[in-house]
Amino acid sequence: MSASRDLLNRRQLLRWGLIGLGATGLATYARSQWWKQAPAAQIPPLPDNEAPDLSFNPMTLLRDFDYGTVKQENGRPIREFEVTANSHTLQLNRAISFVTWSLNGRVPAPTLRATEGEI
């Protein structure tokens, strides 16, 4: 008889079921109301008369290397690079601009080249 007292009766089972159903409904409502996605950014259309600048050749950046300067110290070659970091506003068009870092005044930064074994 003591084992039957420890089990849930129908009334307790119904009460716990309703509590669980209410908690699930509340969680669903909270998720739909409180964590809504932010509205998408509105980007204005570009004017038709604004033609892209085609004078820039990105392939030149792939072959433009910074070799630095080589010095000898204790019989070992040491390559030194001078790199300056700045913050600039990059204007993509009349509607879109953002702040970016540039190294030596360039975005993307120059490729630093060295030989294995140089310090």
Instruction: Give the pLDDT of the chain (119 residues) as one tens digit per residue.
Output: 455 566 778 888 889 999 999 999 988 887 777 666 666 677 766 666 666 666 677 788 788 888 999 999 888 889 999 999 999 888 887 788 889 988 888 888 888 898 888 86
Lookup: tokens for 70 = 């080589």
Give me the number of domains the chain comprises.
2
Report the predicted TM-score, pTM, of the whole model to 2 decimal places: 0.46
pLDDT at residue 87, as a whole number:
92
In a domain, 51, yes or no: no
pLDDT at residue 39, as a whole number:
67
In a domain, 9, yes or no: yes
- C-alpha to C-alpha distances, 119 to 16, 84, 92, 104, 113, nearest whole angstrom: 71, 20, 38, 21, 12
In a domain, 73, yes or no: yes
**H or E element at residue 66:** strand 65-66
In a domain, 36, yes or no: no
In a domain, 23, yes or no: yes
Domain holding 87, by residue range, is 59-112
In a domain, 63, yes or no: yes
pLDDT at residue 84, as a whole number:
92
